[in-house]
Amino acid sequence: MKVLSVVGARPQFVKCAPVSRELRKVHEEVLVHTGQHYDYLLSEVFFRDLGIPAPDHHLEVGSGSHGVQTGRMLAAIEEVIAKEEPEIVLVYGDTNSTLAGALAAAKMHVPVAHVEAGLRSFDRRMPEEVNRVLTDHCSDLLFCPTATAVGNLAAEGVTAGVHLTGDVMVDALRENLPLARERSTALADFGLSPKGYYLATVHRAGNTDDPAALRAIMEAFSRLDGPVVFPVHPRTQKKLAGYGIVPAANVRVVEPLPYFDMLALLSGARAVLTDSGGVQKEAYILEVPCVTLRENTEWVETIEDGWNVLVGADADRIVAEAERAGGARRQHSARFGDGHAAARIAAIIAEYEP
């Protein structure tokens, strides 16, 4: 099959690395980078570290409002599809790049395959939730990471083309954790000892675009009983500066981390505080307690098994749960798959007949 894969944002680079490798064993892959993320540390470093092939098309769409960004991508991806004439278009996750890829293909009658289908936070105010729902409803192949995701799709009447493959982030993590442990010097570089620090990430619009929420989160970090390593997303950096919020002395603000350093710091942390989806799941797999700075999550398994807790942007709840993180009762299961999701996806695509 000629598969056109569309990626554009940091988590999509992580997800596409194992899938691209498996695809290229049996299919022809054309890789499209929309340019949604363009900073070296959000994009190029992932291609380098994860050995992702250079994109065949770089659309250089860049930042903008949702309408502007998605619209530019839609027009540009349409041109690439017309030129390349793929037999299937593969999209990942829930970003504006995902929706643009899916919509461009569906309107051109090219089958759409969605990696990470069926996730729901049931919060339509999140741009990602709109992207997920719309992408799933115009997809022909839906690769679900979990049984919960399959159930979510069934509840919306989507059953055709649905496959429970497991989560490709497990594939990426299994493969890269040994490399991260071998290559990353992040703990020593930051002068940290294992379990002697917290790790934090904040980038969701719901937190960054609300000064009161961002202030409460930063206040909570200042009250934690240890150093907080805070790799800061460019949008968050801009918002902190714009609101005049100065992180406290125990908060170590650092640039976005390459994947290996992120894995090393995450696996060594006492707990992670985050509003990212992917980090909640990585924490679960690495058996690191997670405190999620949101009121909902699409990764409910992490909550059910006791590794994750939702605290929103409430400073007292954040501090209490972060400091309690070592004490909760937990269980662990292979609810995100066995690390062979990418191979399954390549095999299902090989058998697909539109």
Report whether 180 contacts 263 (CB < 8 A): yes
Please select the residue that binds ligand UD1; options are 51, 63, 304, 350, rule is CB under 6 A.
63
Is residue 10 a contact point for ligand UD1 (CB under 6 A)?
A: yes
- Catalytic residue, from 37, 203, 332, 340: name it: 203
CB atoms within 10 A of CB 5: 27
Length of the chain: 354
For ligand UD1, the closer CB: 196 or 242: 242
Part of the chain binding ligand UD1 (CB under 6 A), chosen from 89-97, 166-174, 310-318, 345-353 = 89-97
Per-residue binder mask for ligand UD1 (CB under 6 A), 265-294, x = binder: ------------------------------
Question: Considering just the CA atoms, what is the radius of gyration of the chain in Å?
Answer: 20
Please select the residue that binds ligand UD1; options are 58, 215, 235, 340, rule is CB under 6 A.
235
> What is the Cα–Cα distance from 56 to 81, expressed in whole angstroms?
12
For ligand UD1, the closer CB: 227 or 256: 256
The H or E element spanning position 253 is: strand 251-254
Question: Is 33 in the active site?
Answer: no
Per-residue binder mask for ligand UD1 (CB under 6 A), 296-325, x = binder: ------------------------------
Is residue 37 a contact point for ligand UD1 (CB under 6 A)?
A: yes
Residue identified by tokens 């504006």 is 96
Q: Where in 97-136 is the site for ligand UD1 (CB under 6 A)?
A: 127-128
Could you tell me how many residues of this chain bind ligand UD1 (CB under 6 A)?
18
Is residue 36 a contact point for ligand UD1 (CB under 6 A)?
A: yes
Which neighbouring-strand residues pair with 113? Answer: 90, 141
Q: How far is the CB of 85 from ligand UD1 (least distance, A)?
A: 27
Is residue 11 a contact point for ligand UD1 (CB under 6 A)?
A: yes
Three-state DSSP at 327 gives: coil
Q: Kindly list the distances between the CA atom of residue 318 and the CA atoms of 247, 270, 324, in Å, as whole numbers in the listed order.
A: 16, 14, 10
226's tokens: 């240890």
Is residue 203 a contact point for ligand UD1 (CB under 6 A)?
A: yes
Q: Could you please report the per-residue DSSP string of 35-68?
A: -S--STTTTHHHHHHHTPPPPSEE-------HHH
Three-state DSSP at 28 gives: strand
Q: Which active-site residues does the annotation give?
A: 203
The contact set with ligand UD1 (CB under 6 A) reads: 9-11, 36-39, 42, 63, 94-96, 127-128, 203, 234-235, 238
